[in-house]
Amino acid sequence: MMDWSDRHCRYFHRLLSRHALLYTEMVTTGALIHGDVERHLRFNAQEHPVALQLGGSEPADLAHCARLGEQWGYDEININCGCPSERVQRGAFGACLMAEPKLVADCVKAMVDVVAVPVTVKHRIGIDRQENYDFVRDFVGTISEAGCKTFIVHARNAWLKGLSPKENREVPPLRYELVHRLKRDFPQLTICINGGIATTEQVQAQLLQVDGVMIGREAYHNPWWLASWDEALFGAQGHGVSREEVELQMCDYMVQQSVQHGTAFSAIARHMLGLRHGLAGSRRWRQVWSDHRLKALLPHEVMALAHNSLEQAA
């Protein structure tokens, strides 16, 4: 979810579900150690609960960054051992770390030793054409001994060569049964599943086998789905707001961010372009919100134009 689940996206998603745990995009240890910490770690208090996902492979660096994450108020620190991109591989982290479980264990222990919030691991079921269940079982077993109690498992292998990151999300087959088997073999651990899950019914079916479900692309492209989660999945009262009310709240937020940080509204609006997914006129509505010729207008004025386009399309 690099460049997708930034703080503006998470603020938007929190308007739709009060209970879902939100994750940051992956932040590398180098970016935090050598870059602008505030730019990478600043978030809105409304986002809680929110987890910081780190990318790195040096135990001391990860410990330092985990401590920063806790100081900034994140509720969980997650290490990414699932990203297959070549850029990430060049940094010796992401999915290639699955080949070095002892190093990952050292990284986890270094973080667990310095923070009180949970340290979790996001990973794949295997790398390249390694399809033996023992591989992922031993990986989880080794890391759990270092103090990690929660594993978020993308139920596909990561092919480190020959596939793009996009293809790595689609070409390697989904093997949910391996994640289910992990839960049976490690009943004391929290095992969450990720990959290809796009309906409430699919989530509910998975929750009969594992402890949690992580949703990525579908939550981004069809965000209104989140509006049903509190009631359907958490047994809580729904938020009771309409798409239009959420859009208006986002306009207020865009104005606030412009005043406080000089953020262009287009950098925020891009995250809500799926809000009317599947509805009549949604294409024209998206076009208005994406029209850079309107960048000089206030967000509320753009919203009015977008809804005029809906009326004209009706």
**Could you please report the per-residue DSSP string of the chain?**
-TTTS-HHHHHHHHHH-SSSPEEPPPEEHHHHHHS-HHHHH---GGG-SEEEEEE---HHHHHHHHHHHHHTT-SEEEEEE----HHHHHTT-GGGGGG-HHHHHHHHHHHHTT-SS-EEEEEEEEETT---HHHHHHHHHHHHTTT--EEEEEEEEE-SSS--HHHHTTSSPP-HHHHHHHHHH-TTSEEEEESS--SHHHHHHHTTTSSEEE--HHHHHSGGGGGGHHHHHH-S------HHHHHHHHHHHHHHHHHHH---HHHHHGGGTTTTTTSTTHHHHHHHHH-GGGTTS-HHHHHHHHHHHHHHH-
Asked if 188 and 41 sit in the same domain, the reply is: yes
Report residue 191: phi and psi, to 5°.
-115, 120
157-173 per-position pLDDT tens digit = 988 776 677 776 777 88
149: amino acid identity, one letter: K
- Same domain flag for 105 and 25: yes
Percentage above 70 pLDDT, the chain: 95
Q: What is the pLDDT confidence band of residue 299, given thresholds at 50, 70 and 90? A: very high
| Boundary residue ending a domain (204, 234, 264) | 234
What mean pLDDT do residues 222-240 have?
92
The predicted-structure confidence for 263-272, as pLDDT tens digits, reads as follows 999 999 999 9
Say yes or no: 49 and 182 in one domain.
yes
pLDDT of residue 237: 83
Indicate which residues carry an active-site annotation.
83
Q: pLDDT class for 279, splitting at 50, 70, 90?
A: very high
If asked whether residues 163 and 258 sit together in one domain, one would say: no
> Domain span at residue 307?
243-313
Structure tokens of 235? 């047994």
Q: Are residues 249 and 221 in the same domain?
A: no
CATH code of 284's domain: 1.20.120
- pLDDT of residue 87 exceeding 60, the answer is no
Domain identity same for 18 and 97: yes
Average pLDDT over residues 15-29: 96
Q: Is residue 156 part of a domain?
A: yes
2 lies in some domain: no
Examine the domain organization and report whether 14 and 32 are in the same domain. yes
Residue 273 belongs to some domain of the structure: yes
Return the CATH number at 105.
3.20.20.70
Q: What is the pLDDT of residue 88?
A: 53
**Residue 120 domain flag:** yes
Q: Do residues 273 and 155 both lie within one domain?
A: no
Residue 55: which of 86, 32, 22, 73 has the closest Cα? 32
3 pLDDT band, cuts 50/70/90, is confident
Average pLDDT in the 42-64 region?
A: 96
How many Å separate Cα 188 from the centre of its chain?
Answer: 24
Is the residue at 1 inside a domain? no
Q: Specify the pLDDT at position 223.
A: 97
Same structural domain for residues 172 and 281?
A: no
Q: State which of 234, 264, 296 marks the end of a domain.
A: 234
- pLDDT class of 90 with cuts at 50, 70, 90: low
Q: Taking residues 171-192, report their average pLDDT.
A: 96
Please check whether residues 37 and 95 belong to one and the same domain: yes
Structure tokens at 166: 């996009």
- Structural domains of the chain, count: 2
Is 70 exceeded by the pLDDT of residue 61? yes
Question: Does residue 177 lie within any of the structural domains?
Answer: yes
25 and 169 within one domain: yes
Q: 260 and 215 in one domain?
A: no
pLDDT at position 206 is: 98
Report CA dihedral (5, 128, 181, 147) to the nearest 10 degrees.
-60
